[in-house]
Amino acid sequence: MNDATSQQLYRRALEVLPGGVNSPVRAMGSIGRDPIFIASASGCELTDADGNTYIDWISSWGPLICGHANPEIVAAVSEAAARGTSYGAATEGEVELAEAVCDRFASVEMLRMVNSGTEASLSAVRLARAVTGRERLIKFAGAYHGHVDGLLADAGSGLATQGIPASPGVPAAQAAATTVVPWNDREAVTAAVEAGEPPAAILLEPIPANMGLVPPEPGFIEHLRALADSSGALLVADEVISGFRVARGGAQELLGFGADLTIMGKVIGGGLPAAAYGGSRELMERVAPVGDVYQAGTLSGNPLAVAAGLTTLRLLDAAAYERIGALTDRLAAGMRGAIETAGAGERASVAAVPGLATLFMAPQPPRDFDGARACDTDAYGTLCRELLERGVYAPPAQFEAWFVSLAHDEAAIDRSCEALAEALPIALA
């Protein structure tokens, strides 16, 4: 694979960007190579600065559920930009997007738009603490809720990929106010709730995808809902990844539960920076200017991001979700077929839910973060390099998910799985 231009751009980037990237998940050091610089994208394909093309399975880490450069989304953003890129004032589009979200999430009666999942997490935690008058949070090992002080301990995603257990610069008091427990462990979370100061919130990814895809075991979410109710804590669902992806109403619809507060991002912005947090009217009316919990943002509800988000949600009708489910089933089946073809059943496995999949370099999909960390990450790194050579851009980290979009088709899935069947024996040699 010719990557001379990417290499040149990377050398330039190292002079002005830490590590040559603007987010650690874009670095490819964990798979033993330098990052690839992308020049353009269309549908389910990326084209890099050297002209190489790849079937893309990261979809900008989730937002592009309709694919790259979707014509309807591009048109909506272009039309919005022609009217003005930012006003610092209220717009009709913000109201329409909020109405569309509330229509999809039964637990959300009001929401506040922000610019990133991190900002939404920070704001939801602040609100939960204000409402309950408590400080302690309970989170799960391997869950990533943005780079919020106090939520970085035992986090997944980029921290897991980089081998960073927590982050310097986080005040000790912030870290001490967070209790980290294993995912899918009822006894551990029960003990954590009952020990010490009652928690302000139990914060969860209902379908974790930042330690790879590790769905909840039957009854686990219901157990968390009951614990939150009995302890007076708020159940805060981080649906930055699962929201609008796994179902019209996110993981809450798919799994059949309701959160007190919901954190949203990625798909809600349709590929532009946008996020939100929302809940009942009673809770959200604690937020300024009607309430006393302050949160603000110069670019929140940006008209370009709102236009992209609204168009994306309009495209996500019942047929779209049926299609995403069918494509995911085909991808998971193809991955399992590739594993069988490669004779790798004792060293690789697949987890999948609608719109998301992870190929784990382990005999069985893990049930928690310890299991995810026990996967053969060296073999996964070799696998990713081999897939790139075959024109498949898989997540360059064992702790991330493959994102299915409406732009993927059967041919792209079959080509990807054929490449996987070729690459697996090399990765496991």
By annotation, the residues acting in catalysis are 144, 238, 266
178 - beta bridge partners?
137
The two beta strands, 201-204 and 234-239, are: parallel
- Provide the b/e sequence for 326-351 (b: ≥16 CB within 10 Å): ebbebbbebbbebbeebebeebbbbb
Helix (H, G, I), strand (E, B) or coil at 55: strand
Is the bond preceding 289 in cis, omega lying within 30 degrees of 0?
A: yes
Q: Give 68's DSSP letter.
A: B
Handedness of CA 262, 267, 270, 273 (dihedral sign): positive
**Both tokens assigned to 246:** 């796994």
Question: Cβ neighbours of residue 138 under 8 Å, at least 6 residues apart?
Answer: 178, 179, 180, 181, 189, 192, 193, 199, 201, 202, 203, 233
Q: Strands 53-56, 45-48: parallel, antiparallel or unpaired by DSSP?
A: antiparallel
In the block, which residue shows the tokens 């604690």? 286
Residue 398 · residue 375 · CB < 8 Å:
yes
If DSSP codes are grouped into helix, strand and coil, which group holds residue 140?
A: strand
Q: Which two tokens stand for residue 198?
A: 């009652």
What is the token pair recorded at 242?
């699962």
CB-CB contact of 76 with 243 (8 Å): no
Shortest CA distance to 138 belongs to which of 228, 216, 210? 228
Rg of the chain, C-alpha, whole Å: 21
Please state, in angstroms and rounded to a whole number, the distance separating the CA atoms of residues 177 and 200.
10
Spatial contact of 356 and 245, defined as CB atoms under 8 Å apart: yes
